[in-house]
Structure 1
Amino acid sequence: MSRVDKRSRRAAGRTSATEPVPVPVAGSDCPQLVEERDWAQLLPDLVCKIADDLLSDDVTEYIRLRAVCKPWRNSTSVPSTLDPRFFPRQWLLIAEEKLRRDGKPERFVNVRTGATLRICLPTPKEYTYHCNAEGLLVLCHSLTDTVCLLNPLTMAFTDLPMMSTAAGVVTDIDNLGRPRSNPTVVLSLNSRMHTAIVCALPGDSLWRAVDMSCADDIECELPAIRGGLAVQGRFFVPNRAGDVLEVEVRPQPRLTYVARQAGDEAESGLNERSYLVPSGNDVGARMLLLRTWGPGNIHYEVFMVDLGNRRLTPHEMGGTDTTVFLPSVTLRSSAFPNVVVANIAYLKGHMRSLMQGLYI
């Protein structure tokens, strides 16, 4: 037999990735032909469609799809830090007051499903964690005092000028959810007696002050505004009276009222505090306002913030499958049956003690 004939026989004995492969079928002497598929060769448009569907559920699924193979990565967009489509909004860092120094990963938990991830963050010898902005971590460099945003799922950094505290990312998006311009980062800076709100674009050398004249602090009293909440590209702050204001960055940064208390609810005292928290509902920019009062702020009442009608309506948490941790975290109660009590609000600081041992 010639060498050509031997090579032909050997080639005929091989099976390519697209040829039918005989697979034995139970109870039958005849193998059934099953066609193998080369999934890496899916049409790019089809990969994009699948990726978009996964992204609408959770950004982690999108990242896992891109990790499958190089053709799928080439067919999808690279997740960027300030693209609102890739914000890990449902993922919460469960950490001590300081990040771990033992080299072990930090624990992240999904507030909807209870799923957890272990992620190694930059060493705390270089960075200090301050707060969360729609899933992005606000870090401060210990040597340069510069502030940066970190997407913990993609490890993408965005540098900002110096400063820190409650944060949000204000975005101007089109109908497909893509930003028309660079998002603006907003910080709500609180001290014991004063509050300042500032904003900046990536690349700016200075922060711009937000005009707060519509909600001035009263001399010798507690700040009228404290904290804030980022919701789907908008940043809201509550005042002590339980009204809700929004930070507008154009044409000039300023606060504007979006919902006010009415009737007897409009009255407020110095021992009252107001907090904005996510509603736990995944549809639209919905949030709750909690007003606390009494010694230690142990009493509270809840309002649904109706942005469309610009009003606040009393809200019963019973049966909502949500648990609130002040100042700004909402969990799906059924995802943490051994940790939290459903349909209640915990006071500030309780989350760390309840999660201790299970998630920290």
Structure 2
Amino acid sequence: MLRPCLSLDPAAPKLLLGGKTLADQQQQQQLVRQKRDWSNLGLIAERVLAFDVADYLRFRAVCRPWRHCSTEPHTHGGLDRRFHPWRWVLLREPLAAPNRRCFLNSFTGEFIQVDLPELLDHELLAVTPEGLLVLLHDHNHVRLLNPLTRHVTELPPLTTLLPSKDHVMLSYFNIDDFLATGSGIASDDSTVVLCFNRFRILGMAKPGDDHWILLKYNHDGFTHTPLMFAGRFYYVKVKGVMALQICPNQPPRLEVAAKLNMHVSPISEGLHLVNSCGDLMLIHRQIVPFTSPDKSRYQYDMYRVNLDTGTLLPVKSLGGSAGRAMFWGMHCSFSVPLEVFPSGSISADTIYPSFDFTERSLLKVGAYHLLDGHIERPSGLLQRPNTLVDCLSLSNTVDDE
């Protein structure tokens, strides 16, 4: 725990206290100042920030001298990655205050509650991989909110991205049409990529721009989960895993990053991109015949996307020294290490589908073990957190039905 410190230069007492002379008291104060060696405090602040911005904000809250030796987040742009809460996952369980939200640290298992008054008059379109919230005000004005530093970044309005024939959709706004999964910060650290997968369009803009650069794409019905990964936009089509290239003085373009080398039917199968602790993964979701009572009609095959060779490598493990689990949503996903949660609460190398997936409600698939295809039945079918798994599964559920 960080404790408030005393003033660095307390006023020298003018009276004799406790039988000590003024010189004795001054000497004692000098010894205290020598023990408080603040010369490396700036370096400590940098190391705290490199680990987690939430700890950094706690560090700055200790006292005024600690704030003076550390950087004020608001003096830097909202796209400065040092201050992004990329470790924190927004949870959806209801809290007492309408603008209060709970966040989970996917590395440590810590929970915090944050008041976000912006949610009272903004629509939440997406949470980026950096932990920023994509907000929409008055059905037109796009903003990025850092939920921990409260830094707001203004972006061009939607009317500069959508074709004029689609502007009427903004007047009877439906959040399902404007889910912006796949949005995030490009690798140049200055460009925001805004993705509307339902419209199959990408918008690219920098803070201060007056309009979005439009790029259309075709996902062949495969991409349920476009993804920003390591500063690049990815989605899937028949050709393979496609990646967005943004180069200086060149128009943005999409190119093949990895070939599928498999036949996929968009009717009975699906391809989902996920980030598993720094690895780009592809989940192949398909219907298979019943084989035994503990098997699902759905089978999930996972592949690691090797961007160096442009190939897919089948995997049965999510990695981690003590194992990891994947909480998988139709629109967003995250993985967590087992050691930060109570023993037995979640299983290693296991996929937990969100409430968005029909197999959870219709076929009662609560968990799928990659190693042997074994399934676990969900503890509850309603969208309310009964267990830790339910709470985490609800966090990446977008469908409100």
Q: Normalised by the size of structure 2, how large is the TM-score?
A: 0.68
In structure 1, what is the equivalent of residue 285 of structure 2?
A: 292
- Secondary structure of the structure 1 residue equivalent to 2:47: helix
CA shift, 1:6, in A, is 7.3
In structure 1, what is the equivalent of residue 43 of structure 2?
A: 49
In structure 2, what is the equivalent of residue 206 of structure 1?
A: 211
CA contact (8 A) 2:219 2:236 kept: no
CA shift, 1:149, in A, is 0.6
- Secondary structure of the structure 2 residue equivalent to 1:210: strand
Corresponding residue to 2:60 among 66, 70, 85: 66
CA shift, 1:77, in A, is 2.6
CA shift, 1:243, in A, is 2.8
CA shift, 1:5, in A, is 10
Q: Structure 2 CA distance, aligned partners of 1:102 and 1:114? A: 23
Corresponding residue to 2:136 among 133, 140, 147: 140
Single out whichever of 200-209 and 346-355 deviates more from structure 2: 346-355
2:333 pairs with 1:322 = no
Q: Structure 1 CA distance, aligned partners of 2:65 and 2:31? A: 24
Corresponding residue to 1:170 among 186, 191, 203: 186
In structure 1, what is the equivalent of residue 275 of structure 2?
A: 278
Q: Structure 2 CA distance, aligned partners of 1:74 and 1:52? A: 13
In structure 1, what is the equivalent of residue 241 of structure 2?
A: 244
CA shift, 1:355, in A, is 4.3
Identity %: 27
Single out whichever of 194-203 and 72-81 deviates more from structure 2: 72-81
Q: Give the alignment of 1:105-254 within 5 angstroms.
A: 105-133=100-128, 134-141=130-137, 143=138, 145-163=140-158, 164=178, 165-166=180-181, 167-172=183-188, 179=189, 183-191=190-198, 194-210=199-215, 212=217, 216-217=218-219, 222=221, 224-232=222-230, 234-241=231-238, 243-250=240-247, 251-254=250-253
CA contact (8 A) 2:276 2:318 kept: no
Q: Structure 2 CA distance, aligned partners of 1:297 and 1:202? A: 47
CA contact (8 A) 2:187 2:232 kept: no
- Secondary structure of the structure 1 residue equivalent to 2:82: helix
CA shift, 1:10, in A, is 5.0
Q: Structure 2 CA distance, aligned partners of 1:318 and 1:72? A: 40
Change (3 A) 1:319 1:229: closer
Instruction: Deviation per CA, 1:16-57: give whole Å up to 9, x if none.
Output: 564447xxxxxxxxxxxxx86335xx22xx333222222222
Q: Structure 2 CA distance, aligned partners of 1:19 and 1:298? A: 71
CA contact (8 A) 1:170 1:185 kept: yes
Change (3 A) 1:197 1:348: farther
CA shift, 1:113, in A, is 1.2
Q: Structure 2 CA distance, aligned partners of 1:132 and 1:170? A: 15
Change (3 A) 1:5 1:112: closer
Q: Structure 2 CA distance, aligned partners of 1:342 and 1:316? A: 11
- Secondary structure of the structure 2 residue equivalent to 1:56: helix
2:83 pairs with 1:90 = no
Q: Normalised by the size of structure 1, how large is the TM-score?
A: 0.74
- Unpaired runs of 5+ residues, structure 2, are 1-13, 159-177, 289-295, 357-365, 367-381, 396-401
Instruction: Deviation per CA, 1:298-339: give whole Å up to 9, x if none.
Output: 321111122233322111126642222224222223323465
Q: Structure 1 CA distance, aligned partners of 2:340 and 2:53? A: 19
CA contact (8 A) 1:303 1:312 kept: yes
Instruction: Write the letter of the residue equivalent to 2:36.
Output: D
CA shift, 1:240, in A, is 4.4
- Unpaired runs of 5+ residues, structure 1, are 22-34, 173-178
In structure 2, what is the equivalent of residue 24 of structure 1?
A: none
Change (3 A) 1:330 1:17: farther
Instruction: Deviation per CA, 1:130-165: give whole Å up to 9, x if none.
Output: 211121111111x35311111111000001123451
CA shift, 1:242, in A, is 8.4
Instruction: Deviation per CA, 1:69-110: give whole Å up to 9, x if none.
Output: 3343333333242101222111001015xx868356311001
Instruction: Write the letter of the residue equivalent to 1:74.
Output: H
In structure 1, what is the equivalent of residue 71 of structure 2?
A: 77
Q: Structure 2 CA distance, aligned partners of 1:297 and 1:208? A: 42
Instruction: Write the letter of the residue equivalent to 1:66.
Output: R
Q: Structure 1 CA distance, aligned partners of 2:310 and 2:243? A: 12
Q: Structure 2 CA distance, aligned partners of 1:119 and 1:210? A: 35
In structure 2, what is the equivalent of residue 31 of structure 1?
A: none
Instruction: Write the letter of the residue equivalent to 2:312.
Output: L
Larger radius of gyration: 1
CA shift, 1:65, in A, is 2.2
CA contact (8 A) 1:243 1:260 kept: yes
Change (3 A) 1:279 1:299: same
Aligned length: 311
- Secondary structure of the structure 1 residue equivalent to 2:133: strand
Change (3 A) 1:144 1:302: closer
CA shift, 1:341, in A, is 3.2
- Secondary structure of the structure 1 residue equivalent to 2:124: strand
CA contact (8 A) 1:184 1:199 kept: yes
CA shift, 1:230, in A, is 2.4
